Chain A
Amino acid sequence: MDIFEKMMKLDRRWIFLFLIIVCVVTYAIPFKVPILVEPEVRSIYNFIDSLPPGDIILVAIDYDPNNLAELHPMTYALVEHAWRKKLRVIFTALSQNGPGMAEQAILDISDSLKQDRTFNGVHFKGREIKNGIDYTFLGYKPYYALVILGMGQNFRLPFPTDYYGTPLDSIPMMRGVLNYDQVAGVIDLSGGSITDAWISYGQGRFNFPLALGLTGVMTAQYYPYLGSGQVFGIMGGLLGAAEYEELADNPGRAKDGMRIQLYAHMVIILFIIMGNVGYFAERRRQKREEKGR
């Protein structure tokens, strides 16, 4: 068996082991990698940054724990930015296991808001984030397409109460907030087909500004909606979250993970090259053998 044949028949477990070693070693050594911010992420940041205090945005936390690694950093960076700007946030969670994700994020970010912090040279005093004043968490309802359509008429149709059972009319923040007309924009952070519903039944039907935070697997599929103007921004995977953290000057788990991504991708590229070299060398050898006969 020559080296090219060995390349082709390499046990995949060696690749896993090599990848794990590279990831662990690069994670153990702290160094910074530059984050280049794409316009599609910058437009989401600029949108949040340009809104006046008191404006309402809707953040749809439509992901389950299996997408937490990529989408939680986006939620943390984006919502902290919004709350530091004193925006009010309506949260929904239209994925089955989404309420747990949303609650965890709300609690963690509320804790972070209690501290004085400086972002991009601007000092923000810590403050208490209050349910019903700074945010309303509507929770989960089944059949997301109908829920999105229902919220376009009146938030009270699919959500007579918030997640904690308080009637929407008793919530100070929701007074006078009827539907998407009172919302400056919607940011959907999703790990599944709910994004399609936000595009078709939400933005398409009610014409509000929509931005997407997506898992890496989904991202390439949704770029056409950026080109058509149906969405004004896209954050794709951990890189998108790292770009937002970079813009918001709030480094978190996404930026921390980018140095591992860099070397992990190099490993994958190396194995792709090895596989291709092995394949073409094998094909050449076979052709030579056929000619020899």
Chain B
Amino acid sequence: MDFSTFLWTTFAVFVTLATFSFLYKDNPFYKFAEHLVVGVSAGYFVIILWYNGLVPNLFDRLKDGDWYLIWLNSSKPWYLIPAILGILMWTRFSKKYSWVSRWPMALYIGIATGVAIPLEMSNRVNKQLFATMTSIDWTNFFGHGHFNLLDTTSGLSQVIIFVGALSALIYFFFSKEHTGWFGGVANLGIWTLMIGFGASFGFTVMARISLFINRLQDIKAWGIEALDASPRANPNYGPGFLIVFWLFVAFVAGYIVYELVNYFRSRTVQS
């Protein structure tokens, strides 16, 4: 690792700690990290959009035309139509002409709706309905080949999915009072939903811990580099590495001491 990479890695570790410091309380370091992420993401996206969207899809296609003829003499002048529609979107910033932006918006929503409705209906409603109401596999009711209650393709699973889906739908049927057998089925629906939410919660915990694990792995990699930074341990490293490392440690330790002093002071005032 060269010095500049080490410096950037140290900065990444600092931003990581700044982000996690929010778990204690909101503070200026967290705010800095938060604003940095938003700013960098927005800046990166603008450049990506320019070079991956506008340049190849518009400017490259019109480049054989002349700008002083507003590219009307290019071999593909029809690409000017979406460009004009795109420019019209900007009229939203004018109180007087903001109505013009409704034209490109209407076209866009019209196309998107036309494309979306049949495909969404077919793939996210009909196919799911068919999958729920599939014929029960009686021959492999308790699992394929051997007894396995966790086999998601067994006949028993198909029954559970059908009953679970139906009872969950009944729970959301409010035109009849949830009493008697109807209330019982609705209650089963709640249990089905709770099992679903439980699975989602478990996965969400895993996702959040994964983020922390990733940062731990990066910090460990940085720590190994930092501990190996003395010129005696590794002749490729100069004293600059150690200075950065100890400055960083001193900074973090200083902030923790500052917070602790503030905390004990506020307790003394309260008492």
Is B181 in contact with chain A by the CB < 8 A criterion? no
**Is A145 a contact of B116 with CB atoms below 8 Å?**
yes
CB-CB under 8 A for A160 and B217, given A199-B123, A224-B128: no
5 extra A-B contacts, CB within 8 A, seeds A100-B44, A257-B214, A265-B202: A27-B216, A70-B207, A159-B56, A200-B123, A227-B131
CB < 8 Å: which of B57, B116, B196, B210 contacts A261? B210
Provide the residues of chain A in CB contact with B131, threshold 8 Å: 224, 227-229
B205 touches A268 (CB 8 A): yes
Chain A residues within 8 Å of B23, by CB: 13, 16
Whether the Cβ atoms of A238 and B210 lie closer than 8 Å is: yes
Q: Name the contact of A204 in the complex, choosing from B60, B122, B152 (C-beta under 8 A).
A: B122
The minimal Cβ–Cβ distance linking A240 to chain B, given in whole angstroms, is 10
- Chain A-chain B contacts (Cβ-Cβ < 8 Å), number: 144
Q: Is B194 an interface residue (CB 8 A)?
A: no
Q: Which residues of A, 75-103, contact B by the 8 Å Cβ criterion?
A: 96-97, 99-100
Taking a contact as CB atoms under 8 Å apart, the answer to whether B210 and A237 are in contact is: yes
The CA of A159 and the CA of B202, in the complex, are separated in Å by 39
Residues of A within 8 A of B (CB): 13, 16, 20, 23-24, 27, 39, 64, 66, 68-70, 96-97, 99-100, 139-142, 145-146, 149, 159-161, 163, 165, 196, 199-201, 203-205, 215-221, 224-230, 236-239, 253, 256-257, 260-261, 264-265, 268
- Give the contacts of B117-165 with A (CB-CB under 8 A): 119-120, 122-124, 127-128, 130-131, 152-153, 161
CB-CB under 8 A from A161, the residues of chain B are: 56, 60
Residues from chain B with Cβ under 8 Å of A204 in the complex: 119, 122-123, 127
The answer to whether A260 touches B209 (Cβ under 8 A) is yes
B213 touches A27 (CB 8 A): yes
Residues on B with beta carbons closer than 8 Å to the beta carbon of A16: 23-24
A145–B115 contact, CB under 8 A? yes
Contacts A13-B24, A149-B115, A160-B56 given; indicate if A23 touches B209 (C-beta within 8 A).
yes
Which A residues touch B152, using CB under 8 A? 39, 226-227
User: Nearest Cβ in chain B — how far from A77, in angstroms?
Assistant: 15
Which residues of chain B are within 8 angstroms of A64 by Cβ–Cβ distance?
A: 41
Say yes or no: is B255 at the interface (Cβ < 8 Å to chain A).
no
Q: Does chain A have a CB within 8 A of B81? A: no
Known contacts being A200-B120, A200-B123, A230-B127, is A260 close to B213, with CB within 8 Å?
A: yes
Interface residues of B in 22-39 (CB under 8 A from A): 23-24
**Residue of B48, B112, B161 with most chain A CB atoms under a 10 A cut-off:** B48
Q: Does B84 contact A (CB under 8 A)?
A: no
B45 part of interface (Cβ distance < 8 Å)? yes
Least distance between B108 CB and chain A CB atoms (Å) = 9
CA distance A163 to B48 in the complex (A): 10
Using A23-B216, A204-B122, A204-B123 as known contacts, say yes or no to A140 and B52 having CB atoms under 8 A apart: yes
Given contacts A227-B152, A237-B203, A264-B205, contact A257 B210 (CB under 8 A): yes
Q: B204 at the A/B interface (Cβ < 8 Å)?
A: yes
Q: Given A253-B214, A257-B213, answer yes or no on A220-B119 (Cβ-Cβ < 8 Å).
A: no
Asked if residues A237 and B127 are in contact (CB atoms below 8 Å), the reply is: no
Q: Is the CB of B206 within 8 A of A216?
A: yes
Q: Does B231 contact A (CB under 8 A)?
A: no
Known: A200-B124, A217-B200, A265-B206. A97 touches B44 (CB 8 A): yes
Q: Report the minimum CB–CB distance from B6 to chain A (whole Å).
A: 19
Please list the 10 inter-chain residue pairs (A to B) with the smallest Cβ-Cβ separation, ordered nearest first: A216-B207, A69-B214, A204-B123, A228-B131, A257-B213, A216-B203, A238-B210, A216-B206, A220-B199, A264-B209
Find out whether the CB atom of B212 lies under 8 angstroms from the CB atom of A23: yes
Chain B residues near A260 (CB, 8 Å)?
209, 213, 216
Least Cβ–Cβ distance between B151 and chain A, in angstroms: 9
**Contact of B200 with A220 in the complex, beta carbons under 8 Å:** yes
> Within the complex, what minimum Cβ distance (angstroms) separates A29 from chain B?
13
Give the complex CA separation of A236 and B205 in angstroms: 13
User: Would you give the 0/1 interface string for B49-62, flagging 1 where the beta carbon is closer than 8 Å to chain A?
Assistant: 10011001100110
Q: Which residues on A sit within 8 Å (CB–CB) of B120?
A: 200
Q: Which of B41, B210, B212 contacts A97 (CB 8 A)?
A: B41
Q: Which residues on A sit within 8 Å (CB–CB) of B209? A: 23, 238, 260-261, 264-265
8 A–B pairs (Cβ distance < 8 Å), ordered by A: A20-B212, A142-B49, A160-B61, A199-B124, A216-B210, A219-B203, A227-B153, A261-B206
A201-B213 CB under 8 A given contacts A70-B207, A160-B60, A220-B196: no
Tell me if B233 is interfacial: C-beta within 8 Å of chain A: no
Min distance, Cβ A70 to any Cβ of chain B, angstroms = 5
Interface string of B179-209 (1 = CB under 8 A from A): 0000000000000000010011011111101
Name A258's closest neighbour in chain B (CB-CB): B213
Given that A141-B53, A230-B127 are contacting pairs, would A265 and B116 also be in contact in the complex, using a CB cutoff of 8 Å?
no
Q: Are B52 and A139 in contact (CB under 8 A)?
A: yes
CA distance A139 to B50 in the complex (A): 12
**Do the beta carbons of B48 and A99 come within 8 Å of each other?**
yes
A221 lies within 8 A of B45 (CB): no
Q: How far is the CA of A216 from the CA of B199 in the complex (A)?
A: 10
Q: Are A237 and B206 in contact (CB under 8 A)?
A: yes
Q: How far is the CA of A236 from the CA of B120 in the complex (A)?
A: 23
